[in-house]
Structures are given as structure tokens and as C-alpha cells.
Amino acid sequence: MSGEGLIVTVGEGTCGIAAGAREVFSLLQKKLPQAVFRTVGCAGMCHQEVMVEIGDETSGTTHLYGLVDKKNIPQIVAFHTADGELPAEMLIRSSDQPGLEKGKYLARQTRIALRNVGQLNPTSIEQYKARTGYQALEKIIKGGMTPDDVIKEVEVAGLRGRGGAGFPTHAKWRFARNAPGDLKYLICNGDEGDPGAFMDRSLLEGDPHSVLEGMLIAAYAIGAAKGYAYIRAEYPLAVINFNKAIKDARAAGYLGENILGSDFSFDVKVKEGAGAFVCGEETALLASIEGLRGMPRIRPPFPAIKGLFGKPTIINNVETLSNLAWIILNGGPAYSSIGTSDSKGTKVFALAGAIARGGLVEIPMGMSVRELLMEIGGGSSSEHPLKAVQLGGPSGGCIPESLFDTPIEYAAINATGAIMGSGGMVVMDTKSCMVDIARYFLEFTQRESCGKCTFCRIGNIRLREILTRICEGKGEMEDLDTLEELSNSVKDASLCGLGQTSPNPVLTTLRYFRDEYLAHVCDKKCPAGVCKGLIQHTIDQSQCTGCSICQRYCPVNCITGETKKPETWVIDTTVCINCGMCAEVCAPKALVVQ
Amino acid sequence: MTTSSLEAVVDPQLIQQWIAQIGSDSSAAVPLLQAIQTEYGYVPRKAMDLVIQYSDINASQLFGVVTFYAQFRLRPVGRNRIKVCHGTACHVKGADRLNTALRQALDITDPEADTSRNGSYTMEDVACIGCCSLAPVMVIGDDVFPNLKGADSQRSLKKHAKSHNETLLGLEKAKPEKTESAPVENDEGSPE
């Protein structure tokens, strides 16, 4: 039971740790004292956390297990050290058995941006170097590539900004390169504010050096000497790992003065964001770094000409940056050979919501929404079929099931009314209410509006009020027309991306799920059983066992009855707030929503 | 509310020290406020007065910034902080019920209040913390609790309260029925 010759790898991203990775790690260490232990970032298979890979140097095999916990650790240990049986139900991937169903999640992906995530210890610069790390930087500096060569290579690759808008990266760089001025800035935008997107977190946590190397390449191309990594304060592990990467890269001579002996100098500082969604917008982000309220300003002048502290500044998204080293090493044509004519390369998506296999996936552009959700994501996580997917966060829109054959590329996605955005995909089954979703996003954008433009500041509040009214069953038919008209006004009269896109969830749900709005307004019903003003919880006494657990969890004490006498249990509907706690804890499912 | 007893005593020397380390010009406003909040759990009015006094940042800028960003709070916090994620995935999966259950356990009835009367816990709604595939989630202190139902969140909180010697007012007064064994599916609720 010693574990000699075994290499045990445990995924310790934020999600792995949340699922108990540290406990699994120390338990395995106790049982396999002779084994070599490694920790890596998140592999993106969040639905399988905690994940453990065991490599056997003697037999040359590797086994990747998912959903490992203290109960099933003995099975794994027994298999690898004694005559135990293979814990097949936990196996995701094995060198002995190719083509496992669970392994499809990884097999169907093309990983460029995520190439190292889950494969290396993010705090080890040595491991990054062992996986071609910093070779792109060396190729540029020692191989004599000029900044124009670098820009040209990225142009050939066809890389577009992965933060949302999809502006061609090379074009933006060229503006800044040609802008006059000695001091230029390069900023990494890691203020991933879209609720439902977490690829930037995963990259910053799990492979910070590839983002840093991307920053160096971009800085070299535009001639920047100073850089900031603007990272959300909600991502503490990302901040720690990125700071460590900066320190190690500086010590290794990849960062600082005269990098690799050349006259190229560049250094980076981490700035922690302070929780403002609007700071994902470039000019608002700059204001925030300058120490001001994060309010966008009129463009032009564009940041590439006049940005941080008035100097030419390029702001690139985390995922964009993490592609760069790969492009330089493998060449622009290799990147542009992936994807479609409109959209080159790959894109990372965060799958969450009512999906069986949630997590991060990186796919070639052009794959259909259906293939992504059904083949990789495994379809619905419940017995209820999928209804829609919200793409692009609060700025995006809902794509209904009928349009799931849409290919994932910028133009085709925009045509549906949604946007690619940063790649958050929240999947909804028939138990999600689309009016409630629209209300949820409006509440979010309205709260996050900086207040500069009147239509965004007040229009979004009015939109939210109307949607709340509809969700409470107080909506009227004319509300639907008002929603549409006001949505278009907010889009037209807002300065930045936040206001220009905030009505998208309303417009797309109105377009594709008008029947649900009508059910709320005309029939005063919420078909999905979500909107509290339109539902009522009651007890089905034929199913009730009289266990009284619902009573214990009811926050307003509206459930009464005698223990073990099902026929006595009732809900006082005049007091009930329909919070759903009772239905959640009821084991025999005796609580019905009407 | 007895949260006034939670008011922090601000040390002027610390403020001066941070200004020396971080900077005294306007771009230092956010990091200075972050340092203050990390130390005291919120931004005390007294600390802001001292920043204005010792640095080149003026009052209107500092108050503008502190009220703009969601991270900063101007009210004292309880001894422990609970962050309930309200990202899209968590919302779809019923994050609202965590609020209901936690407020019940902490006996916070005033809709405006976020801290329990005995100062044990402060509840905050946060935007996405990026663990969407494990939704719904909450964070107590530095620990992330995944895949929660309302009842799980109460149990995780109970465990946390026990190990931190805190009293949960809402569970103290109520319901003398049997105490343990809530029949929820995810029996392994919390990490640690």
C-alpha cells in the first residue's frame, strides 16, 4: 500500500477546492506515502470535480477519475496498489480503454487557449517551460522577429478579441503601434464580470504564464513598456497565482529590463478590480485604474491613441492573450486553418445551468450549438428537456432550441440576436422561466449601470419594473409593446456596450418566447412554475408522510399538521411566500406547485 | 441593531503607512480603500477622513469611488461573512432559497439588514464568483460551498458556527422537534 512508482495528480482550481480537492489530496497522500504528488489547475470538467489522475510508471498506464471523495478513495487505492477491481464508474479516461463516454467531453475539444490548464502546476515556471513555455518569446527576440512581423502573424491567424466584441486583434495593435508617444501601456482585461463565464478565472489560476507570455508578445508588438493585469477581486486564487508568475518570470529574465538581453523592456503590475461590471468596458476600466469612478467616456479618441493617463493603450482580454504564444510558435496559418471563414480558431465556452456536463470547453469555431450542448455537454441535467441557452451574459440573448443548429461563429450568432460575448453559456430546461431570466438580467444591468447616460440609467429601471410587474402577474398587454419600444431606445441612446446591449435578453426572449410572456400577462400563469406571484405551493396529502420537515424549514411558519398524520398537513396560502424551501426538503415530493 | 459595537477603531499610523506604500496620488484611491477594507472588513468613515487628510486624494473623489464599486461597504460587518453567489447559473438553480434559509437561520428579518443581531454573520449577495458548474454556491470566510440546496446551506452554516463558537439566533429560538438528519440528497454537502 505504499504507492511506489505512482504519480498522483489532483486538480486544485477554485472549483476543485470547493468540491473538496484539498481533503482528497491529503487523504491520498496518507494512503500512498511513496507516490509522487502534483497539483494542477482546473481541467475544465467542473461536473467531475474532484478529479484525480494516477499514472503508473511501472506499467506505463494512466487513469483519470472523476467525482472522487473520501468514500471512494479506498477503491482507487486498492486498484493501484493491490488486487482491487477497477472503479469503472468513476473512470473518465484511461490509457487502457480509449473512447469512454465521459472522456468525450475532452476528446471533442480543440485546446489552444486552454492547452496547459489542468496539465501543469500553475505556480511552477519550470513546468510551463517544459510545455514550450516562453519559447514564443525567445523566437521573437532571438529569432529577430520585428514588431510588424508579430502583428502580421496575428493578422494571418485571424485572431479576434475574445472579450466580446470580436474586434480583430492585429488592427487594434497597429493603431497603437503607429500612435506617437514614448510610453505605451498594455493591459490584460481580467475583469470577467459576466455572470456565467469563468474561462478567464480558469486561465489566470491554472495557466498564468501563458497569459503573461501573451502580454509580453502584445507589448512587444505595440511597443509598450508598462502593463497592468486588471483582475477581479472576486478571484483571489487568480491574483495569487498571477503575482507568483510575475515574480518567477522576472527572476528568469523574461520580464523587466532588457528582456533576454535585448533592448525590449516590459513590466507588469496587478490591479485588483473592485466589483463593477461596467469596468469590462475599455474606457471604464482605464478610469478605474486611474483611481476614478469606472465610467466610460466618448470614443474617439480610442484608447489605442489616447488611453491610460493619456498614453496609447491596448486592452486585450485574457483568452485572447493566452492564444498568442501558440500562434507565434505554430504560425498564423495553423491557427486560421481552424474554424470558419468568418471566425478563425477556437473559442472557450463556460457551460453551466441545466446541463449534464458543465465546465469549460474549447471548440473550433463553426461547431453547432446543438453539438456543443448535446455531444460535449451531454444534454439536460434533469428529466426536463432543454429549452434555450443564454449566450453572452447580460449583454447577450437567448437562443431557443429551434435554433440550436446555428453554427458558433460571430456573424451567425449575432443574427439570432444573441452575441458571442465572452463565452458564458447558461443552459435552461423547461423548468426555467424566460420572463424571469429577462428580469434577472435587467436587474443586473440596471444595478451595474454607471448612470452616465439617461436611457441606460432610467430606461433600464423602467424595463425592470415592467418585467417585475409581469412576473408578479400584474402585467398588461400594452406592457409588451412598451418593453420593445423602450428596449430599442436604450440601445440607441447609450454610450457604451453596457447600455447598448442590456435590452438584448428582453428582446430575444420577447422574440422567441412570446408565448411565455402571454401566459404571464393573459392567463396569469408561469408555465415553468418559477414566478412567485403566479404559483402556489400545496401539500398533496396522499403523498405526504407527515414527517414535519417542511414545517421546520418554512421561514414564515405557514405549514401546520400533526406528526405522522398526513391528512392533517396544510399550507396557509395567505401567509405562504412561495419560497420553495418546503418543496426542496420534501423527500416524498408531496409539495406541489400550481 | 447592536452592530454599532462592531465599529472599528481606526489606527492613523496604519493609514499613513499604506499611503507611503501604495501611493498618495489619485490612482491610489482604489488600492487604498481595498487595504482599508481588508483590515477592517468595511471602510470606516474615520479612515476615509484620514486618507483625505494625509494624501493628495480629495474628498469628492474618494467618496465617489467608495460609493461606485460594489466591493466597498460603509457599514460595519459581523465577525464572519457569508457571500451568496447570484450569478446566472446560481440564480437558475435557486440561489434565492439560500438567502431565505440563511436569513432564517440568522434570524435577520429586517429586509434592509444584512448582519445578525449578535454580530456573528454578515450576508452579502455577490455577482458571479466563477464556480458556475457547481451552482448554487456560497462562500463563508474563504471556504466555497458547492451544489447547495436551501437546507444544505443551513447545515453548512451550522457546522461553521459550531467550529467558530457562534450562535445562530434563528435556530436557537425555534422548533423543539428532532434536530438532525435532514433528508437531502447531497449528504457530503460541505468541504473541509
Same domain, A300 and A360: no
Q: pLDDT per residue over A345-399, tens digit each?
A: 999 999 988 999 988 999 999 999 999 999 999 999 989 999 999 998 888 999 9
Task: Dig out the grid coordinates for A178 from the structure.
Answer: 503607429
Same domain, A327 and A463: no
Same domain, A250 and A147: yes
Residue A551 to residue B175, Cβ atoms within 8 A: yes
Alpha-carbon distance values, A414 to A365, B79, B166 (Å):
14, 47, 52
pLDDT at B181 over 90: no
User: Is residue A270 helix, strand or coil?
Assistant: strand
CATH number, domain with residue A541 = 3.30.70.20
Same domain, A317 and A374: no
Residue B183 to residue A290, Cβ atoms within 8 A: no
Can you give the pLDDT at residue B179? Answer: 43
Q: pLDDT per residue over A275-286, tens digit each?
A: 899 998 999 999
Cβ neighbours of residue A433 under 8 Å, at least 6 residues apart? A471, A516, A526, A527, A528, A529, A530, A531
- Report which of A215, A225, A287, A279 is spatially closest to residue A256, judged by C-alpha positions: A225
How many structural domains comprise chain A?
A: 5
Each residue's pLDDT tens digit in chain A (594 positions)?
Answer: 578 899 999 998 888 888 889 999 999 999 999 999 999 988 888 888 899 999 998 888 999 999 999 999 999 999 998 888 999 899 998 888 877 877 788 888 999 999 999 899 999 999 999 999 999 999 999 999 999 999 999 999 999 999 888 899 999 999 999 999 999 999 999 998 888 888 999 999 999 999 999 999 999 999 999 999 999 988 889 999 999 999 999 999 999 999 999 999 999 999 999 989 999 899 999 999 999 999 999 999 999 999 999 999 999 999 999 999 999 999 999 999 999 998 999 999 999 889 999 889 999 999 999 999 999 999 999 899 999 999 988 889 999 999 999 999 999 999 999 999 889 999 999 999 999 999 999 999 999 999 999 999 999 999 999 999 999 999 999 999 999 999 999 999 999 999 999 999 999 999 999 999 999 999 999 999 999 989 999 999 999 999 999 998 898 999 999 999 999 999 999 999 999 999 989 999 999 988
Same domain, A315 and A249: yes
Q: pLDDT per residue over B133-161, tens digit each?
A: 788 999 998 888 988 988 899 999 999 99
Same domain, A320 and A181: yes
Residue A467 forms part of a structural domain: yes
CB of A291 within 8 Å of a chain B CB? The answer is yes
Residue A583's Cβ-side half-sphere holds a number of Cα atoms within 13 Å equal to 18
Can you give the pLDDT at residue A1? Answer: 53
Report yes or no: A507 and A500 within 8 Å, Cβ to Cβ: no
Residues B149 and B93: their CA atoms lie apart, in Å, by 9
Q: What's phi and psi for A418, nearest 5 deg?
A: -90, 180
CB of B56 within 8 Å of a chain A CB? The answer is no
Residues A431 and B187: their CA atoms lie apart, in Å, by 24
Same domain, A205 and A314: yes
Expressed as residue numbers, the domain containing A45 is 6-103
Residues A192 and A201: their CA atoms lie apart, in Å, by 8
Domain end marker among A523, A551, A584: A523
pLDDT at B4 over 70: no
- Report which of A407, A391, A423 is spatially closest to residue A508, judged by C-alpha positions: A391
Size of interface A-B (CB pairs under 8 A): 196
Residue B65 to residue A292, Cβ atoms within 8 A: yes
CATH number, domain with residue A26 = 3.40.30.10
Q: What is the ipTM, given to two decimal places?
A: 0.87
Residue A112 forms part of a structural domain: no
Q: pLDDT per residue over B19-74, tens digit each?
A: 999 999 999 999 999 999 999 999 999 999 999 999 999 999 999 999 999 999 99
Same domain, A84 and A130: no
CB of B63 within 8 Å of a chain A CB? The answer is no
How far A551 CA sits from the closest chain B CA (Å)?
9
Contacts of A549 in chain B (CB under 8 A): 182-183
Same domain, A330 and A470: no
Residues A356 and A377: their CA atoms lie apart, in Å, by 6
Same domain, A276 and A160: yes
Same domain, A359 and A504: no
Q: Which of residues 35-74 of A touch B (CB under 8 A)?
A: 46-47, 49, 69, 71
Domain end marker among A429, A463, A483: A429
Residue B70 to residue A275, Cβ atoms within 8 A: yes
Label residue A432 exposed, middle or buried (CB < 10 Å: 0-12, 13-18, 19+): buried
Residues A559 and A577: their CA atoms lie apart, in Å, by 11
User: Is residue A450 helix, strand or coil?
Assistant: coil
Cα nearest neighbour of A236 on chain B: B142
| Ramachandran area for residue A5 (φ above 0: left; ψ -120 to 50: alpha; else beta) | left
Alpha-carbon distance values, A579 to A530, A556, A584, B28, B97 (Å):
10, 10, 10, 44, 6
Torsion of CA B52, B58, B61, B66, to 10 degrees: 0
Can you give the pLDDT at residue B173? Answer: 60
